[in-house]
Structure 1
C-alpha cells in the first residue's frame, strides 16, 4: 500500500514538473496600477513617471528579462523644454532648466542575428498642460488609461508570453526581442527619438518595430487600425492571413503621431496598432474602468500570431512610404470635434464634440457624419481638412451632416 501511495505521489510530482508554464494575464492589473491617481498622470520628469518606471523595471525583472538600458533597465535622457514649437528639442547634459525622462528597456536574447523592437509609451499629461483637451479651470489628473497604459499592458503581456515560449522551446525564435517602454512621447516622441540616436543595441540588427498606442477602447464592431502597412512588402499579407477577429483599417504610412515614427525615420519597417480616439482622449476621464480588456487580449493574441508568422521570413525588406503628414493642409480654425479615425465610410464621422466650440454651438453631435463643409464635399479625413483650411476666424459656413438616415444642414461660425 505504501509503495502504491509513493508511486501515485511520484506520478503527480512528475506531471507537475512537465506541465507547460503559461503566461499570466495581468493586463487589467498593469493598467490599474499605471492609471492610478497616485502616479498623478505620469508626466515626463515627475515623481509619477519615476514610480511608473520602477514598476516596469520590477515587472521586467520578474519575467527574467535582461536589462538593456544604459543603467540597468533605464536609459535616461535630459532635454530643454521647447520654446519654439517648430524647432527640434535639444537633448543636453546641462543641468540648468532641463527635464529628465527614462526609457525602460528589457531584452530577450535568443542568440539571433536580428532583433524585433516591441514598444509603447508610458508617459502621459500629468495634470493637463498644453496637450490637454480639458476646458475646466480646475486642475485634474489625466490618468491616461487608454493613452497609454493600455499599450504598455499589452507590451508586458507579449513580453511574458514570448519569454515563456522561448524558455520552453527546443528551437528558439529566429529573432531576439527588445521591449521598450518610452517616456517623453507626449512632449514630441522624445524617448524613442533619443533611442534612435543613442541605441543600446546595434541598430543595424533591428528587423522591424511594433508600436502600441491607445489599444484599450476597441468598439463593438472590433475595428482595429494598423499603420505602417506599406513599410515592408510582407506586412499586408501577414496581417490578412492572421486576422479572424477584426475589422482592419490599414494605413501604409510609416509616419504618424507616435513612437513608431522614430524607427521608420531610420529605415526600419514599423507597424502601429490603435483602436481609435474617443471623448476621454487627453482628458481626466481616461480611466481604467472604461477599457475593453477582452479587446486588449485579442490584440495581444493577434500581434503574437503576427510575430510568430514572420519569424521564418528572415530580415524584412524596408520600403519608404508617402508621408501623409507633409500633405496635410494648414488651417487657422477648428470645428471643435474629435474625428472618428477608424471610420472608413464616406465623409468624416464625429466621435465627440467639445463645449463652446463651433460644432457644439451649431448643434453637431457624436455620430454625425460631415459630408459637406462650405462649398466643399467631404469624402474622408483629408478632404475635411482641406475644406477647413480655407476659413479664417470669424467666418461663417454651412455644414451638412448625416444623422442616421436624416440629412441636416446648419451653420457654423468659426
Structure 2
C-alpha cells in the first residue's frame, strides 16, 4: 500500500445484521502457497522494474492461465508501461530521470454477460528499499518482502479468480482480474491501465481492490472498507450482511491505493484493508506474520458482497467528498503512522519512525494526538489539516493522551 499519510479517513463503525456471509469456499492452503512464494527472498521484495517483480508477474500469468482466464493485456496477460518517477518525495522533477518499466497482469473471465466486475490488487513492493520509501532507517539493500503489503491482496485476488473460474453457477457479470505494478510509486500501474484500458470502461460495473488484508487483528477483528459512498448501493448492502467483523467504513472514493484510479473514471469502488501495523514498509513484513485464517474470512466476506450485487444490475455511481490534500501538499512529515481503525476522539499513533520529528520529540505508539499547533485534532482528517499548516523548520506544540493522561511535547520539523 502506498504510504498512508495522504488521504484522511472519516471512519464510522457499522453494526451489521441480516443476510449471513456465505459458507467457506476460500482455501487457506492456497493463500499460504501464494503468499509464501510472492513474499519469499527469491523475489527480492518485488521492487518495480526489477527481476523480482517480473517473476511475480510471471507467477500471476501462470495462475491466470491455469484458471482458464483470457489474456487481456497488450502482450498476452501482460500490460507493460513506462514511467519516470523521482525517488525524492519533495522533488517532482522527472525530466532528466531514466525511463523505468512497469508490468500489470490482466486476465478476463468471460461469462457472456453485459457488464464486468474488476477485482484487483498491486503485487509490487519496496524491493531493496532503493526508492527511499522504507520506514526502517538505514534499510537500503535489505529485502522488503511485503507479505501483507501486498502479497496478501495479490493472493486474495488469485484465490477469487480460482473460485469464480471453477464456480459451477455463472455469475451475471464477467470478471477482470488485475495485478498492478508500481502502486508504491504512486498508483502508476492502475493509472496507466485506466488511461489506455484493454477493456471498455463503460462496461465495468464496479471495482473491488485489496491492499493489506493479511493482518486482521484476531481480538478486534476490524475490517476497513473504503469507497462506500461511491454508489448508493454500498451502505445498505454492507448494513445487510452479518459477519464477525467490526466493519469500519469510509465514504471517499479517493484513498491510498489503486481503487482511486477507477473512482476517478466514475466507476463505483470498494477497497478492503485490515489495518496498519508495526511491520508496514519495513523488512519485517514477512509471511510468518500473516493471519491466514483472518484473510480467508475477509475473502469470504467479499464473496458475500459480490453475491449481494447479483440482482442489482449496473450500479449507479456517486461522487464523494474528497480531500484536496495529496502527498504533494505535504512538504514535511512527523513520521508517525495513524491508526485508521481507531474510532475514539483524536488520532491514535500506530507507529513511530526512528529519527523523524515525532520520535525525536518523544511521541510513542499508542499516544492519542488531540491538539497540534492551534488546532484541536478529533480524527485523522483533523491531523492532516493541522499538518498541512506546518512548514519546514517550524516548532509546534503537540498534545497527546498517554495512558489517559495529557502530555505536551514540542515537535520540530
Q: Same fold (TM over 0.5)?
A: yes
Query: Per-residue CA shift, 1:36-61, capped at 9, x if unaligned?
Result: 11101111211101110111111122
CA distance in 1, matches of 2:194, 2:239: 30
Contact kept? 1:348, 1:378, Cα under 8 Å: yes
**C-alpha displacement of 1:357:** 2.6
Query: Per-residue CA shift, 1:255-311, capped at 9, x if unaligned?
Result: 122111111111111111112222221111111111111111111001111001101
1:212 to 2:210 alignment: yes
User: What is the TM-score of this pair, normalised by structure 1?
Assistant: 0.87
**C-alpha displacement of 1:156:** 1.0
CA distance in 2, matches of 1:253, 1:224: 16
State which structure, 1 or 2, has the greater radius of gyration over its C-alpha atoms.
1
CA distance in 2, matches of 1:174, 1:203: 18
Contact kept? 1:79, 1:89, Cα under 8 Å: no
User: What is the TM-score of this pair, normalised by structure 2?
Assistant: 0.87
CA distance in 2, matches of 1:299, 1:23: 10
Partner residue of 1:196? Answer: 194
For residues 283 and 106 of structure 1, do their structure 2 counterparts lie closer, same or farther at Cα, with a shift above 3 Å needed? same
Of 238-247 and 37-46, the range deviating more from structure 2: 238-247
Partner residue of 2:118? Answer: 117
1:107 to 2:114 alignment: no
Query: Which of 164, 184, 192 does residue 162 from structure 1 map onto?
Result: 164
Contact kept? 2:337, 2:350, Cα under 8 Å: yes
CA distance in 1, matches of 2:255, 2:311: 28
CA distance in 1, matches of 2:255, 2:358: 26
Secondary structure of the residue aligned to 1:311 is coil
For residues 69 and 393 of structure 1, do their structure 2 counterparts lie closer, same or farther at Cα, with a shift above 3 Å needed? closer
Of 201-210 and 134-143, the range deviating more from structure 2: 134-143
Partner residue of 2:379? Answer: 380
**C-alpha displacement of 1:202:** 1.9
Partner residue of 1:295? Answer: 294
Query: Per-residue CA shift, 1:383-408, capped at 9, x if unaligned?
Result: 12222333344443332222233332
Query: Per-residue CA shift, 1:231-252, capped at 9, x if unaligned?
Result: 1000011112124121122111
Secondary structure of the residue aligned to 1:231 is coil
For residues 401 and 87 of structure 1, do their structure 2 counterparts lie closer, same or farther at Cα, with a shift above 3 Å needed? closer
CA distance in 2, matches of 1:108, 1:88: 40
Contact kept? 1:348, 1:370, Cα under 8 Å: yes
Of 249-258 and 343-352, the range deviating more from structure 2: 249-258
Partner residue of 1:312? Answer: 311
CA distance in 1, matches of 2:141, 2:328: 33
CA distance in 1, matches of 2:210, 2:377: 30
CA distance in 1, matches of 2:73, 2:26: 24
1:224 to 2:223 alignment: yes
- Trace 1:229-378 onto structure 2 (pairs within 5 A): 229-326=228-325, 330-378=329-377
- Trace 1:177-192 onto structure 2 (pairs within 5 A): 177-192=175-190
CA distance in 1, matches of 2:138, 2:326: 34
Unaligned runs of 5+ in 1: 1-21, 91-95
What count of residue pairs does the alignment treat as equivalent? Answer: 385
Q: Name the structure, 1 or 2, with higher relative contact order (CA <8 Å, separation 6+).
A: 2
Greater fraction of residues in helix: 1
Contact kept? 1:255, 1:325, Cα under 8 Å: no
CA distance in 2, matches of 1:108, 1:119: 13
